[in-house]
Amino acid sequence: MGKKGEQIGVMPVAQALDMARKSSLDLVEVAPTAVPPVCRLLDYGKFKYEQTKKEREARKSQKVVLLRELRIRPKIGDHDFDAKARSARKLLDEGNKVKLTVMFRGREITHPDLGLKLMKRMQEFVKEQGAVETPPGMDGRRLVMVLAPVPGQKAKIKEETKNIQDAKDQNS
């Protein structure tokens, strides 16, 4: 392609380099996998600057998903379990993944079914906010499960709170 974006056509590399030198531009290969490879006559410094600018914009729009861990024991009390479950809900609402770990000590390891019951109970508690990404599995003396946030759930929650706020405003 020429300096104004027009297509020049297929030509030998030596001829293309000569054209680039005459117009005081660089010959830049933009599509090396195409047959024949596509090259452009342009200022390489400006091209590189535009590329980094695009990459920076792409990074801004990315959402970093953190993996947060919640640890519980097989003999956890009901109130403590509810507190952990509320914490898991909050983390999933924020868009983070939750790694739920049941830690077994001593002879507790002989009853992995207690840990599985806790996992199922947690799964039921957070089913609106998160789905199981990695099913429960033993990792040494620990039972591990990963919950991932349900996509679109955050927008749904915002919409519900907005509807409630609108209803309050109409009543006032």
Residues 122 and 99 in one domain: yes
Q: Are residues 73 and 40 in the same domain?
A: no
Domain count within the chain: 2
Of the pLDDT bands very low, low, confident and very high (cuts 50, 70, 90), residue 156 is low
Q: What is the pTM of this model?
A: 0.56
Q: Kindly report the CATH number assigned to the domain that includes residue 34.
A: 3.10.20.80
- Give the structural domain span for 17: 13-60
* Domain match, 55 and 117 both: no
Q: What share of the chain is helix, strand, coil (3-state, %, to 5)?
A: 45, 25, 30
Task: Judge whether 40 lies within some domain.
Answer: yes
Lowest mean pLDDT among 5-14, 22-31, 47-56, 121-130: 5-14
> Is the domain of 146 the same as that of 100?
yes
Q: What is the pLDDT of residues 56-82, one digit of tens each?
A: 888 887 777 788 999 999 999 999 999
- Give dist(CA 76, CA 14) in Å, integer: 76
Structure tokens at 48: 């590189």
> How high is the mean pLDDT of the chain?
85
